[in-house]
Structure 1
Amino acid sequence: MGLTLSSLFSCSVFLLAALFLSLKWIKSEKETKQSQSPPGPRGLPVIGNMLDLGTMPHRTLFNLRTKYGPLLRLKLGSINTVVVQSAQVAEQLFKNHDHSFCDRKCPAALTAHDYNQGSIIVGQYGSYWRLLRRFCTMELLVTKRVNETAPLRHKCVDTMLSKIEEESAAGVASGEAGMVNLAHCLFLMGFNLVGNLMLSRDLLDSEEGKEFFEATNGISKWVGKPNLADFLPFLNWLDPQGVKRNTAKHLEKALKIVGRFVKDRAEEHKLGKQRTTKDFLDALLEYEIHGKEGPDKISEHHINIVLLEMFMAGSETTSSTIEWAMAELLRNPKSMQRAKEELNRVVGPNRKVEESDMDNLPYLEAVVKETLRLHPPIPLLIPRNAMEDTKFIGYMIPKDSQIFVNVWGIGRDPESWDEPLSFKPERFIGSKIEYKGQNYELLPFGSGRRICVGLSLAHRMVHLALSSLLHTFEWNSVPETLDMNERLGISVRKLVPLEAIPKKISI
């Protein structure tokens, strides 16, 4: 039975009307969603706002705040991105929406060798991540454990001071001014410290340790490179810049070396060899042996990943913070003099600085806080990921949106700080502002569930190393290395590494 001409006409009109109404509804829905989104610049097709970021995204984004306000929307390739740029908005995020935004956006490079599956820093939020986090917190952050490792920190600082003295003396003997590459000395100290805390080894004293050092540097170099595949996931298979391939090569080498350290220690455990002090690897192996089977079991591969992550995160951020602090003090002689006078008064000329002195050095602590305000190691923190559609301060943030918290910009916000661009440690004297995640104008280590797991150790190490440098040597600057421009990698470091001329103070 065929359709009449009038029936066909009626069907066509109905279909056209339905299509028109559907398109109108889709357009209306899109406009409604856009109206509920935070403000932000219009992007280009496909790449969105990628070209708006520039080479120093934290600076570029902060400059956009004047036009778009403290919550900014961007489209980075196909990735919805939201940027938090004030203490008030950060407080709302961490106090009221921490769970909704506690997942991670993992760089494509760190999916090589399933690194992200065993990572605390970029691992997805869930029961296994909570297990790893809880374990590391108990082994790294509890006061008893931090106190027990004080001799290791003193040992590594003393080694660094001796190296600085030797390098300077060698320079003088060869007709040089005695200049030392302080940035390099600090990085080696940080790496050596992590080796002692994790493995009870001075890794740089062995060829295997030097290979491991080179491999971790390679990982940091490649992971720190901007990667198109992170913004345009359909390019993952192609890896157009070779970021994942090169990261994978260095990761494989580093994980094999760590794996040998773990196997050697596991053999010691099987043979019943007793160790005088328990390090982080001992704790991991004991948990693996005595822990539950199933989802609560930490695999050998994941043990290797956790150990490797501690090296990369611990040595990089600690050394960069001390380098920035020394650079700021060399540029501000009055602050340097006040810090040294406090050390002379509290410690005196006849002994070394001890960690027990730190509570009596408020100006030194203020110097560290002011350094972290102006130079947070990771200026946008590690990107978070929205686990669900979330209504946030009146805006709709879609699921799988990337969340940046611009702690670099918040540290320079004139609404939170007087003279925000000036280095003024005095602003913290008598202040109750800390950087432990509860004062949202100062968040160099983040806040909430994803706050840096090594915060307590970093706090102790930065204070001890910085105070020891100031108390042991008089410092003269090398002007060309006091350039405060930045280079961006895993962390923000000085573009020109800090060099200075030390003169040993007799103790």
Structure 2
Amino acid sequence: MEFLSSLLLLGLTFILTQALYSRITKTNYKLPPGPYPLPIIGNLLALGNNPHRSLTKLAKLHGPIMTLKLGQVTTIVVSSPEMAKEVLLTHDNTLSNRSVPQAIQVHETDNHSMAFMPVSPLWRDLRKISNAHSFSPKSLDASQHLRREKMQELLHDIHRYNVAGEAMDIGKEAFKTGVNMMSNTVFSVDLISSSDSAGDFKDLVMSIMEVTGTPNLADFFPVLRMLDLQGLKSRNFLSVGKVLDILRGLIDQRVKVRELKGVDTHMDMLNSLLNIADQGNSVMNKFEIELLSLTLFVAGTDTVTSSLEWAMTELLLNENAMSKTKQELEQIIGKGKLVEESDIARLPYLQAVIKESLRLHPQAPLLIPRKANANVEIGGYTIPKDAQIFVNQWAIGRNSSVWENANLFLPERFLGSDIDVKGHNFKFIPFGSGRRICLGLPLAMRTLYLMLGSLINCFNWSLEDGTTVDNMNMDEKFGLTLVKAQPLRVIPQEISN
């Protein structure tokens, strides 16, 4: 305890010294405007419980590019399509590295997870291999039958709620299906066997996302990183370790089968990646496969599930949009039928529903923070070297000067539009843009369309007793992703074909 107190005193002394030094020395460049920082803590109090909302309000006062001092860390926040384009496209080369939270620096994830590792020859090779062998249209087409099977199982589970007339937690059931879709695409096995185990795994994933997104003193005052005062790093060490143990077990099991049989007949991602490793490729090895799998399961399953839950919520709140979605599905594929991935291109209104929901409820409202490798000039201001950069896509999606009726759920705005999810139009970047765009985008979108389309086409839905359109809780829970604070509970009524 005495040692800890001494370290804390040393850290606070250093912080005070740095604060005084920064007041004495002046930079010769012009930072973007921003709120006046308090001594030592800077603008930390301005973040609040929902930083995406707080930063949106501040941007209305200080402009689409602004500076905040979060402890010792200079932070640049951009909140317009024009400024987002500067960061994500024009200066992508200089602003591509990550500002890595202390909590994620466990089990080598900061150096080997493609979501957080620095841009390097290793990062480029890993991403190239993953795109070619895991997320190419050919690879995903080859595994779509596995996702169809999991979707059929979900419909069977929902049928039981229908028979019993009971409300279901749609997020929990969708999470189980999403994880098993992912695990079958990657490993050809179910990772979750029951609703109880789904809850356990979901708790692990939610813990990782929440802890990683929690404001951490160690990130604002780097001298405090050795202390882990809030215990966030130690919590993530345990949670990430448990998920890695699960994934490592599946990979080890497959490696043993390949060694015994000398052949692997599975048509999945793991087979492709192990084949590359067996060919002596020094980039893709068992350790990298473990970390890639971790990224897919943590970043992919929770975000897809939450996106589905928000989309269902918006449709239940908007009877007209729900009716149009059902009508399109009935006309194109037939009432009560499972949506196939090959149907997606023929369902423009369903696509518009997903896009509109992602506009209003982006899963990474501030994207993953970037870090400047050098001084960069943007909009007449300088983003200094080592500054972290937030792209507030939540603010962009709700900006009335960018979107007409910005706060209303209107899928029609995307009909006949060439705006897609691939980061080409900077007023709509749900998966980011540039070289750091989300690796699993193709799989995530297929899964979203398949799940939402099938749920809408095979069942009618009503809110749980006591919940109405007028009193539905739409609060958000901020973390690395933006989830619904109160789970959506709904009662299904099966549609016969």
When the two structures are superposed, what TM-score results if normalisation uses the length of structure 1?
0.89
Q: Which residue of 1 aligns with 2:233?
A: 244
Match of 1:191 in 2: 179
The separation in 2 between residues aligned to 1:406 and 1:220, in whole angstroms, is 18
After TM superposition, give the deviation of residue 118 of structure 1 in Å.
1.4
Q: Distance in 2 between matches of 1:86 and 1:139?
A: 35
What's the offset of the Cα at 1:291? 3.3
Partner residue in 2 for 1:135? 129
Q: Which runs of 5+ in 2 are unaligned?
A: 1-21
Q: 1:320 to 1:238 in 2, by over 3 A?
A: same
**8 Å Cα contact 2:76-2:387 kept in structure 1:** yes
Instruction: Please tell me whether residue 309 in structure 1 is matched to residue 298 in structure 2.
Output: no
**1:359–1:220 distance in 2 versus 1, CA, 3 Å:** same
Query: Counterparts of 2:491 and 2:199 in 1: how far apart (Å)?
Result: 27
Counterpart in the other structure of 1:90: 84
Report deviation, 1:275.
3.7
- Separation in structure 1 between the aligned mates of residue 393 and residue 214 of structure 2, nearest angstrom: 20
CA spacing shift, 1:97–1:238, aligned 2, 3 Å: same
Within 2, Cα distance between the matches of 1:301 and 1:27?
Answer: 46
Task: Name 2:8's counterpart in structure 1.
Answer: none
Root-mean-square deviation (Å): 2.0
Q: For 1:79, give the aligned amino acid.
A: V
Secondary structure in 1 matching 2:114: coil
Indicate conservation of the 8 Å contact 2:33/2:65, yes or no. yes
Distance 1:213 1:413, change over 3 A: closer
- Per-residue CA shift, 1:236-294, capped at 9, x if unaligned? 1111111011111122222223222221111122223434332122222222221334x
The structure 2 residue matched to 1:148, chosen from 142, 151, 158, is: 142
CA contact (8 A) 2:349 2:412 kept: yes
In the TM superposition, residue 47 of structure 1 has moved relative to its aligned partner by: 1.4
Q: Judge which range, 420-429 or 214-223, deviates more.
A: 214-223
Aligned partners of 1:423 and 1:401: how far apart in 2?
Answer: 35
Name the structure 2 match of 1:338. 324
Matches within 5 A, 1:137-176: 137-170=131-164, 172=165
Distance 1:499 1:209, change over 3 A: closer
Report how far residue 399 of structure 1 moved: 1.0
Correspondences of 1:315-464 after superposition (within 5 Å): 315-349=301-335, 351-464=337-450
Aligned-pair identity (%): 39
Do the aligned residues in 2 keep the contact of 1:212 with 1:257 (CA within 8 Å)?
no
Q: Which residue of 2 aligns with 1:4?
A: none
The answer to whether the 8 A contact 1:98-1:448 is kept is yes
What residue in structure 2 maps to residue 274 of structure 1?
Answer: 263
Is the contact between residue 199 and residue 279 of structure 1 (CA under 8 Å) also seen in structure 2? yes
In 1, distance between residues paired with 2:145 and 2:186? Answer: 14
- 1:140–1:453 Cα contact (<8 Å) kept: no
Counting matched residue pairs gives 471
Task: Supply the AA of the counterpart residue of 1:102.
Answer: S
In 2, Cα distance between equivalents of 1:375 and 1:303: 31
Q: Which amino acid aligns with 2:28?
A: T
* Residues 1:121 and 2:115 are matched in the alignment: yes
Query: What does residue 501 of structure 1 align with?
Result: 491
CA offsets 1:461-505 (integer angstroms, 9 cap, x no match) = 111111101000011123268311101123111111111111000
Structure 1 position 214, deviation (Å): 5.2
197-206 or 484-493, larger mean C-alpha shift: 197-206
AA of the residue aligned to 1:504: E
- Which region of structure 1 is more displaced relative to structure 2, 161-170 or 53-62? 161-170
Determine the structure 2 residue equivalent to 1:201: 189
Q: Deviations over 1:311-353 (max 9, x none)?
A: 1111111111111010000001111011101111111236432
Match in the other structure for 1:287: 276
Matched residue SS, 1:167: helix
**Cα drift, residue 302 of structure 1:** 2.8
What's the offset of the Cα at 1:140? 2.8
Quick one: structure 1 residues 199 and 212, their matched pair in 2 at CA, closer, same or farther if it must change by over 3 Å?
farther
Q: 8 Å contact 1:369–1:425 — kept in the other structure? A: yes
Partner Cα separation in structure 1 for residue 490 and residue 354 of structure 2? 19
Residues 30 and 264 of structure 1, relative CA distance in 2, 3 Å threshold: same
Q: State the secondary structure of the residue aligned to 2:95.
A: coil
More off after superposition, 247-256 vs 73-82: 247-256
Question: The residue matched to 2:66 in structure 1 has which SS?
Answer: strand
Distance 1:215 1:352 in 2: 30
Match of 1:18 in 2: none
Report what 1:484 is aligned to.
474
Query: Which residue of structure 2 aligns with residue 21 of structure 1?
Result: none
Contact 1:198 1:281 in 2 (8 A): yes
Question: In structure 2, what is the Cα distance between the partners aligned to 1:355 and 1:299?
Answer: 31
| Shift in alpha-carbon separation, 1:208–1:162, aligned structure 2, 3 A | closer
**CA separation of 1:93 and 1:215: change in aligned 2, threshold 3 A:** closer
Aligned to 1:81: 75
**How far apart, in 1, do the equivalents of 2:395 and 2:487 lie?**
23
Match of 1:7 in 2: none
Q: Determine if contact 1:384/1:403 at 8 Å carries over to the other structure.
A: yes
SS at match of 1:75: strand
Secondary structure of 1:112's aligned partner: coil
Call closer, same or farther: CA 1:234–1:194 in 2, change over 3 Å.
Answer: same
Q: Aligned partners of 2:408 and 2:239: how far apart in 1?
A: 40
- Please tell me whether the aligned partners of residues 204 and 210 of structure 1 are also in contact (alpha carbons under 8 angstroms): no
Give the AA of the match of 2:180.
N
| Paired AA for residue 136 in structure 2 | V
One of 204, 217, 220 as aligned partner of 1:231: 220
Unaligned runs of 5+ in 1: 1-25, 173-177
Amino acid of the structure 1 residue aligned with 2:96? C
- The C-alpha deviation readout for 1:75-108, integer Å capped at 9, x for no partner, is 1111111111001111222231001100011111
Q: 1:282 to 1:445 in 2, by over 3 A?
A: same
Instruction: Return the letter of the residue paired with 2:274.
Output: L
Does the Cα contact within 8 Å between 1:474 and 1:505 map onto a contact in 2? yes
* Structure 1 residue matching 2:107: 3-state secondary structure: helix
Name the amino acid aligned to 1:247.
N
